[in-house]
Amino acid sequence: MNATAPAGTALTVATAPGCTPRLLRLPATVETYSAYATAGGYAPLDNVETLLADVESSGLLGRGGAAFPLAVKLRTVRAAHIRGHDTVVLANGEEGEPASVKDRWLLRHRPHLVVDGVRLAARLVGAQRAFVYVSDLDAARAVDTALSEVGFDTLGGLQISIVTVEPGYVAGEETAAVRAVNGGPAKPTDKPPRPFQHGVAGHPTLVSNVETLANLPYLQRNGAAAFRSAGTAGSPGTFLMTVTGGGRPPALYEVPHGMAFTDLLDLHGISPDSVQGALMGGYFAGLLNRDVLGTTLDHETFRELGCGLGCGAVAILTDDCPVAVAASVLAYFDRENAGQCGSCFNGTAAMAAAAGALRDGAATAEDVARLERWSVVLRGRGACATLDGAANVAGSLLKHFPAIVEQHLAGACDPCGAGRFSAQRPYEVEAVTQT
């Protein structure tokens, strides 16, 4: 049973009931310069400090996966500018998670919103150079067209270049993005230094996800209080969710933080009774069992469960066996690791082999014990978080689905008997541009 959506499957694009869209544009067609500017886009920025204070007060968290406060990044790079350093903005649209589609959708359908966000970020940190970093060629073309429509004066003299790379799970990691823009391979480097210290061409660099930057025009027009009118105190605002699985076509939703998970299921047309769990944060945050039904969609709630929202991608598990899903994801990590760090290269391979044996009914209790130990001792190793993602998947499988693990040890998994889940890129979403 292959859970990847068939090629050409329509992507549903919608907002949660009662949620006024800030990022999506409905109907989901490509936004022109004229439409964007008429709606208030590319407004002059009269006071940098006012917008910077609004970003800080808004509590805007990064939407790329780590949920790091954007204001901290902005102030850090701005401080380098004030000290006399040249600074750079790098808008990261290399969507490494196959189960996520939000960044590609924004870049393809709302390129002017992204460019405007880059413009504002550059003003905030004093940058004269910026890069939009992507692997999706349709996204690159859309941004290139948008840039050709924007006048030099509108961008305040900012030079924006597009950098394209081959898609890959590690290619979106911030140091990999900087390395690629600098002309190297799109693979992570050791930290420190981090990009805010030594980034593109050695300059302090703001690296931020394109969805994160796409919130800046809303903040410029409406301010921090309006931004906080949706969401929770710890997770303010709305965000984009890619939802897959459950036998339903994939969907991209804009929802407020704090929305009940069961309301998301209702929006997606899935009965809570059929849900046995979810794969969270794309592949990175790991698996949850039916405890996910009691959650709300905010960082603080998922953090308490030892999980996360990550990049806002969730695959809902109904008929798919969690052991087989975990085995497919771990095999993906094994194929996609950068091959630079021995702990990751060997660790992902070992965990993938153990999970594959468990899926196939060939594992022993000792194999499961080793998988559990690896999920603990391998965390935090390597130049990037790929190994952490693999450890999250392995550890969460064993923690949240012990009965199904035992069934596999006994060779008696009913879902796998009916058709074993198998996918090279589990729950992959194809982005389709609507003109």
Query: Looking at residue 15, what is its pLDDT?
Result: 97
Q: Are 114 and 136 in contact (CB under 8 A)?
A: no
Q: What's the rounded Cα separation, in Å, for the pair 421 and 245?
A: 12
Query: Looking at residue 435, what is its pLDDT?
Result: 67
| Residue boundaries of the structural domains of the chain | 26-227, 238-317, 322-418
Q: Are 363 and 402 in contact (CB under 8 A)?
A: no
* Cβ-proximal residues to 35 (8 Å cutoff; 6+ apart), any chain: none
Q: What's the rounded Cα separation, in Å, for the pair 403 and 406?
A: 5
Q: What's the rounded Cα separation, in Å, for the pair 152 and 94?
A: 26
Could you read off the pLDDT tens digit of each residue along the chain, which spans 435 residues?
333 344 446 899 999 999 999 999 988 899 999 999 999 999 999 999 999 999 999 999 999 999 999 999 999 999 999 999 999 999 999 998 999 999 999 999 999 999 999 999 999 999 999 999 999 999 999 999 999 999 888 999 999 999 999 999 999 999 999 999 999 999 999 889 999 999 999 999 999 999 999 999 999 999 999 999 999 999 999 999 999 999 999 999 999 999 999 999 999 999 999 999 999 999 999 999 999 999 999 999 999 999 999 999 999 999 999 999 999 999 999 999 999 999 999 999 999 999 999 999 999 999 999 999 999 999 988 889 899 999 999 999 999 999 999 999 998 888 887 777 889 999 999 877 876
* Cβ-proximal residues to 259 (8 Å cutoff; 6+ apart), any chain: 16, 296, 297
Second CATH level (architecture) for the domain 322-418: Up-down Bundle (1.20)
Domain 26-227 has CATH 3.40.50.11540: yes
CATH of domain 238-317: 3.10.20.600
Q: What's the rounded Cα separation, in Å, for the pair 205 and 188?
A: 15
* Cβ-proximal residues to 303 (8 Å cutoff; 6+ apart), any chain: none
| pTM for this entry | 0.95
Position 310, amino acid: G
Instruction: Report which secondary-structure segment, H or E, holds 387.
Output: helix 386-400
Query: Looking at residue 425, what is its pLDDT?
Result: 95
